[in-house]
Amino acid sequence: MKRRTVVKGLIGLLAAPRIAFAQQKELVVAAFGGAYTDTVRKTIGAFESANGVKVSFVPASGADGLAKAMAKQVDVMHGDLAWAFRGVAQDAFEKLDPAIVTNLSALHPKARFSEYGVVTNFGEYGIAYDPSQVKGEPTSWLDLWKPEYKGAVSTTGYDAANIELIVLMAKLNGGNEDNIDPGFRKMAELGKQISVFYSQHPQLLDLFRTKEIVMARWLRGRVDWANKQGVALKFVAPKEGAIALVSTVHVVKGRPQTELAQKFVNHLLSADSQKLYAADLGYTPSRRGLDLAGIDVPYSDAMIDSLLMSDWAKIVPKMDAWKERWEKEVVAR
Amino acid sequence: MIGRSKTLLLVPSVSILAAFFVVPLIWVVGLSFMSSDGTGKLVTDFTLGNYTRFLTDAYYLDALLWRTVRLAAIATLFSVVIGYFGALAIVRSAPSWQPWLILLVMLPLWVNLVVRTLSLMVVLGRTGPVNQFLVWTGIADRPIPLLFNETAVLIGMVQVAVPFVVMSIYGVLQSIPRQLEHAAMTVGATPLSAFRRVTLPLSMPGILAGSVLAFGINVESFVVPILLGGGRVRFMSVAAYETATVSNNLPFAATIGVILLVVTMAMLALYQWAVRSMTRARPVLATAG
């Protein structure tokens, strides 16, 4: 008798929050967290009142974000191209409906990489350098390979931007996404130049501050941040093109509010939201024709056209094998 | 009556362990026998492929597994020696000082590990105090690279483990009556041999507990190799994390975890057995002598 009451009570406790939620429509959005979510939150009030919905954010991206999408715990997921194509392959997302996501037509074509997701904004990976230590302005990614900077250049470990760099090196040496060997051969040379593969932005900042590093693959926005921290660095987009850092957004399949989720994606692509990505985060909006006067962010069709963005549908199935090659050929001495 | 209440007392710990440790662990072990298609989708057919991939590749065996175990073992050795002296110093200090010294040992544990490790990067950096001292004293003619190599990772691991070792050895040392050593000295033992033949063997349980704790913490180090290894010092935990989050191959990540767990458990079992049989042999030797 008693035990049964306890069990009933526990079930009641578990069920209670669901009943409470059911009274108002709720949209759960997996986003990158931190300043990124804060920026999205700024314009959310108008969306909430217009649609009679409560939007809540959970900090999840990458593996965590896709896991939550597959478990149908979130309505909208943020990601990058790798997680986007993994999600597409695992049938995690709804197609974006141009009849609801009307802002799609206002975007740069590069943003519409798939029917199942869209790029909301672009960042730029280029070369950050210490002008007091580097003679002249670097112009090419290949400047990281220059022998005079051996031991004083850095990049991260195996990540999306380094994958773009491998593909670029393959393309410059007669290969491509399907013929990656020339890329790895070139990156192995870079590996010998590198004494530390950085993993945290403050870590790279310190390496620049102590002059252990004079040149590195870094984000434009982070170089501005370094300057504010009192480390005088310059940023250059190499002539081969800066590497794109993309933030994608997707509507999760099999959730009760997919139409609202589509509307939310449309909201992220609205002029107001798009402008904030530039003003608050320093990212280039996907939307064309915004007035970004007074905001120091590169913004033009030509700039987005020049960004390096490989064919990730081809890359995703190879990422595991490439990771092993990266460790063996680039990292290992 | 007493038997039943004892079982009741076990319920919270057992159910928490079962829910948050045993069940996920069973899931991880099961996962390690599955595979993932290129996009990270699980293929649930039974396979030994992940284990073959790991165990037949010199990179995984040497650069990853052996390095992890080797560095953890060396760091444990240093931690135990440093921790033992620390604990001994505290036990032998004035009783009114002891709580404060213990507090000092515990203090680092209240600071976030990432913050502690980042500050270690400042200390060991090219312009950090260690290098400044080395250059100033003329030991080195220019700053030497102390960071982003195995030595840096070792220093970081020792820094993490020492407080735990001090605490486990301190507890045991405290319970050994000082009179035992005095008694040994009255029958002719030098202070050193009194320590070696009385205090040290009696404090063996503390050393055992401390070193098992230190090895357990070191072998699963994550923040320390990432930050102090500069991406070159590969570690099992980091590899498992990256395989899951970057390559999105959960089964292989699970395999790395399971192999680390099995190897760690085997080493700890071997170590405990060795220490136990050594301490058990000691009284026999003593009577024979």
Position B278 scores a pLDDT of: 77
Q: Does residue A288 belong to any structural domain of this protein?
A: yes
Query: With 90 as the cut, is the pLDDT of residue A7 above it?
Result: no
Question: What pTM was computed for the model?
Answer: 0.88
Q: Are residues A87 and A133 in the same domain?
A: no
The values of phi and psi at residue A175, to 5°, are -115, -165
In a 10 Å sphere around its CB, with 0-12 CB exposed, 13-18 middle and 19+ buried, how is residue A264 labelled? Answer: buried
Task: Classify B223 in phi/psi space as left (phi over 0), alpha (psi -120 to 50) or beta.
Answer: alpha
Two tokens, residue B191: 């202070």
Kindly state the DSSP code that residue B43 receives in the 8-state scheme: E
Q: How large is the average pLDDT for residues A195-221?
A: 92
Two tokens, residue B70: 């080797």
Q: Does residue A168 belong to any structural domain of this protein?
A: yes
Position A157 scores a pLDDT of: 94
Query: With 70 as the cut, is the pLDDT of residue A23 above it?
Result: no
Query: With 50 as the cut, is the pLDDT of residue B284 above it?
Result: no
Q: How large is the average pLDDT for residues A147-173?
A: 96
Position B126 scores a pLDDT of: 82
Q: Does B49 touch chain A if contact means CB atoms closer than 8 Å?
A: no
For residue range A280-319, list pLDDT tens digits in order: 999 999 999 999 999 999 999 999 999 999 999 999 999 9
Position B275 scores a pLDDT of: 84
How far apart are the C-alpha atoms of A78 and A283, rounded to whole Å? 15
B284 or A156: which carries more pLDDT confidence?
A156
Number of domains chain A is built from? 2
Q: Does A6 touch chain B if contact means CB atoms closer than 8 Å?
A: no
Q: Which of B63, B125, B247 sits opposite A332 (nearest CB)?
A: B63
For residue range B177-231, list pLDDT tens digits in order: 989 989 999 999 999 999 999 999 999 999 999 999 999 999 999 999 998 998 8
Residue A24: pLDDT band (50, 70, 90) is: confident
Percentages of chain B per state (helix, strand, coil), in multiples of 5: 75, 0, 20
Q: Which three-class secondary structure state does DSSP give residue A107?
A: strand
Q: Are residues A208 and A320 in the same domain?
A: yes
B17 or A240: which carries more pLDDT confidence?
A240
Q: Are residues A270 and A319 in the same domain?
A: no
- Which H or E run includes A263? helix A258-268
Two tokens, residue B105: 């040992």
Q: Are residues A96 and A192 in the same domain?
A: no
CA end-to-end span of chain A: 68
Q: Does A73 touch chain B if contact means CB atoms closer than 8 Å?
A: no
Q: Are residues A288 and A217 in the same domain?
A: no
Kindly state the DSSP code that residue A106 receives in the 8-state scheme: G
Q: Does residue A64 belong to any structural domain of this protein?
A: yes
Q: pLDDT > 90: what percent of chain B?
A: 71
Q: Does A199 touch chain B if contact means CB atoms closer than 8 Å?
A: yes
Residue B112: pLDDT band (50, 70, 90) is: very high
Contacts of B129 in chain A (CB under 8 A): none
- Taking the CA of residue A93 and the nearest CA in chain B, the distance in Å comes to 14
Q: Does A211 touch chain B if contact means CB atoms closer than 8 Å?
A: yes
Query: With 90 as the cut, is the pLDDT of residue A17 above it?
Result: no
A183, amino acid identity:
G
Position A20 scores a pLDDT of: 46
User: Is the Cβ pair A320, B148 closer than 8 Å?
Assistant: no
Please provide the average confidence, as pLDDT, over all residues in chain B. Answer: 91
Q: Does B129 touch chain A if contact means CB atoms closer than 8 Å?
A: no
Position B6 scores a pLDDT of: 82
C-beta neighbour count of A272 within 10 angstroms: 12
Two tokens, residue A98: 């141009």
Query: With 80 as the cut, is the pLDDT of residue A207 above it?
Result: yes
Q: Are residues A204 and A283 in the same domain?
A: no
Contacts of B119 in chain A (CB under 8 A): none
Query: With 60 as the cut, is the pLDDT of residue A86 above it?
Result: yes
For residue range B16-28, list pLDDT tens digits in order: 988 899 999 999 9
- Taking the CA of residue A284 and the nearest CA in chain B, the distance in Å comes to 25
Kindly state the DSSP code that residue A104 receives in the 8-state scheme: G
Non-local (6+) Cβ contacts of A324 within 8 A are: B59
Show which of residues 271-310 on chain A sit within 8 Å of chain B, judged by CB atoms. none
Q: Does B80 touch chain A if contact means CB atoms closer than 8 Å?
A: no
| Residue whose token pair is 């250049």 | A153
Q: Which of A89, A196, A210 sits opposite B231 (nearest CB)?
A: A196
The values of phi and psi at residue A118, to 5°, are -150, 150
Q: pLDDT > 70: what percent of chain B?
A: 96
Position B276 scores a pLDDT of: 81
Query: With 70 as the cut, is the pLDDT of residue B285 above it?
Result: no
Q: Are residues A70 and A97 in the same domain?
A: yes
Q: Are residues A77 and A107 in the same domain?
A: yes
How far apart are the C-alpha atoms of B102 and B110, rounded to whole Å? 13
Strands A118-129 and A234-236: antiparallel
User: Is the Cβ pair B248, A320 closer than 8 Å?
Assistant: yes
Position B282 scores a pLDDT of: 56
Closest CA to B149 of B108, B118, B121: B121
Q: How large is the average pLDDT for residues A75-82?
A: 96
Position A5 scores a pLDDT of: 53
Q: Does residue A307 belong to any structural domain of this protein?
A: no
Query: With 70 as the cut, is the pLDDT of residue B47 above it?
Result: yes
Two tokens, residue B72: 């953890």
Strands A118-129 and A284-285: antiparallel
Position B2 scores a pLDDT of: 57
Q: Which three-class secondary structure state does DSSP give residue A128?
A: strand
Closest CA to A181 of A166, A196, A198: A166
Chain B residue at shortest CA distance from A212: B126
Q: Does A319 touch chain B if contact means CB atoms closer than 8 Å?
A: yes
Query: With 90 as the cut, is the pLDDT of residue A243 above it?
Result: yes
User: Is the Cβ pair B252, A320 closer than 8 Å?
Assistant: yes
Closest CA to A323 of B62, B245, B94: B245
How far apart are the C-alpha atoms of A113 and B155, rounded to whole Å? 47
Contacts of B242 in chain A (CB under 8 A): 157-158, 323
User: Is the Cβ pair B234, A327 closer than 8 Å?
Assistant: yes
Q: Are residues A264 and A149 in the same domain?
A: no
Q: Are residues A26 and A147 in the same domain?
A: no
Identify the CATH number of the domain in which residue A321 sits.
Answer: 3.40.190.10
Mutation pick from A177, A320, A325, A328 vs chain B, by most beta carbons of B within 10 Å, is A320
Position A261 scores a pLDDT of: 97
Q: Which fold has domain B71-231?
A: MetI-like fold (1.10.3720)
| Residue whose token pair is 């695992």 | A90
Question: How many H helices and E strands in chain A?
Answer: 14, 9
For residue range B98-108, list pLDDT tens digits in order: 999 999 999 99
Is residue B203 within 8 A of residue B223, CB to CB? The reply is: no
Position B114 scores a pLDDT of: 87
Q: Does B41 touch chain A if contact means CB atoms closer than 8 Å?
A: yes
- Which H or E run includes B204? helix B204-219
* Residue span of the structural domain in which A34 resides: 2-122+246-300
Position B122 scores a pLDDT of: 86
Contacts of B37 in chain A (CB under 8 A): 89, 317
Q: How large is the average pLDDT for residues B51-67?
A: 96
ipTM: 0.85
Closest CA to A302 of A223, A241, A224: A241
User: Is the Cβ pair A158, B245 closer than 8 Å?
Assistant: no
Q: Does residue A32 belong to any structural domain of this protein?
A: yes
Q: Does residue A184 belong to any structural domain of this protein?
A: yes
Q: Are residues A63 and A140 in the same domain?
A: no
Query: With 60 as the cut, is the pLDDT of residue A22 above it?
Result: no
Strands A234-236 and B42-43: unpaired
Please provide the average confidence, as pLDDT, over all residues in chain A. Answer: 92
Non-local (6+) Cβ contacts of B31 within 8 A are: B42, B250, B251, B254
Query: With 60 as the cut, is the pLDDT of residue A43 above it?
Result: yes
Position B281 scores a pLDDT of: 61
- Taking the CA of residue B82 and the nearest CA in chain A, the distance in Å comes to 29
Q: Are residues A72 and A174 in the same domain?
A: no
